[in-house]
Amino acid sequence: QSVVRYDAATLAAKGSVVGFRGSVKKTGPRGVLKIPHENFFQGLAAGPHGALYAAGGSSDVLVAVRAGRKGFALARRYPLEYYPFPKDQYPYGYQGFHRGPRHFYPDGVTIGHRGGHAYVTGLLSNAVARVNLHSGTMRYANVGPYPFAPVLTDHGR
What is the predicted pLDDT for the residue at 93?
Answer: 54
124 alpha carbon, distance to own chain's centre: 14
> In whole angstroms, what is the distance from residue 26 CA to residue 32 CA?
9
- Give the rounded percent of residues in the chain with a pLDDT score beyond 70: 92
What is the predicted pLDDT for the residue at 97?
Answer: 60
Look up the pTM and report it: 0.86
Query: Residue 78 belongs to what domain range?
Result: 2-156
Structural domains of the chain, count: 1
What average pLDDT does the segment 6-14 reach? 91
Residue pLDDT, tens place only, 25-82: 877 788 888 888 887 767 899 998 889 999 988 889 999 999 888 888 999 999 999 8
> The dihedral of CA 18, 23, 29, 30: what is its sign?
positive
Residue pLDDT, tens place only, 67-124: 888 888 999 999 999 888 777 776 555 555 667 778 888 999 999 988 999 999 998 8
What average pLDDT does the segment 5-22 reach? 89
CATH (domain of 126): 2.40.10.500
What is the predicted pLDDT for the residue at 77?
Answer: 94
